[in-house]
Structure formats: C-alpha cells, structure tokens
A = this chain, B = another copy of it.
Amino acid sequence: MLQVSRKFEYGLHAVTYLATKGQGRVVTVKEMADDIGFSQEFLSKAMQSLKRAGIASSVQGVKGGYTLGRATTEITVADIALAIEGKPHLVRCGVKAESCEVFSSCHHRGYMGTLQHKIQDLLEDTTIYSLLQQIVP
C-alpha cells in the first residue's frame, strides 16, 4: 500500500522530540510517551531500534533514558527508516529473487530498482535539522 509503518512514525516523532529537548538532556521513554501521546511499550521498541542504529544513545539505570546519538544535521529521515524498517524492498525480488515467479521474463526490475533509489535519495536529502526548520511557529 506504499505506506510508512507506525513504528517509523513513532521513531520520527521521538527523534524530533529529543531534538527540541537539546542534545544533553536525557529523556525517559515514559516522559516521551506521555508527552507525545503514544503507547510507552511500543515506543520503547522504536527507541531500541534507533539506539542500535546509533541514532539515539541510551543511559541505563535510574535517571536513565535516551538522548540523540549525534547532531541533528547528521541524522536523515533515511537513517530513521533504515533503523526501524530495515533495508527497503520496493519489490519482492529485492529481498529474494525466488519470490518473483517471473524473474527471468521481468521487464521492469531495472526501473523499480532505480525508483527505489530515487525514493531513498529523497529520504536522505532531509536531515532532522532541516525538518525542524520547516516548522512554522
């Protein structure tokens, strides 16, 4: 259906939220969830993915929580998508060739590949920094 996953939306919200809080500030999942209006458990999953990708970094124990792992100019929307949804596969043969019954006779595999690339480029062109700039106050 060419729709972004909910987990990705959670992640993007979380990152912009952290960004507005400033780099140093450690924020707990509960605080974020309450503040934004998400399910705490599920947001936690998204944060874990972001952490593994280095986009967020975590502090454990009491007084723990999450911060951004790097500057907002160094985080693109593509990074978040990759962290949360994994490598994109616009078509099935992207994940494994056998999933396309007609692999050998396929005429548009090449096009779909470049299309995916172009979409990827769109996502890479937007950093969190520039995303925040776009907000009208």
Chain A residues in the interface with B (C-beta under 8 A): 1-6, 9, 12-13, 16, 36-38, 77, 81, 85, 88-92, 100-102, 105-108, 110-112, 115, 118-119, 122-123, 126, 131-132, 134-135
Contact = CB atoms under 8 A, between A and B. Distances in A.
Contact of A92 (B6, B37, B112, B115): B6
B5 A1 contact: yes
Given A3-B91, A4-B90, A9-B91, A111 B85 contact: no
Copies of this chain held together in the complex: 2
Contacts of A89: 1, 3
23 contacts: A1-B85, A1-B89, A2-B4, A2-B5, A2-B88, A3-B88, A4-B112, A6-B92, A9-B91, A13-B108, A16-B108, A37-B105, A38-B101, A38-B102, A107-B132, A107-B135, A108-B131, A110-B134, A110-B135, A111-B131, A111-B134, A115-B122, A119-B122
Contacts of A4: 2, 90-91, 112
A81 B115 contact: no
Contact of A108 (B12, B81, B112, B115): B12
A3 B94 CA distance: 10
Contact of A2 (B2, B13, B38): B2
10 nearest interchain CB pairs? Answer: A37-B101, A37-B102, A16-B107, A2-B88, A118-B122, A36-B102, A107-B135, A4-B90, A111-B131, A3-B89
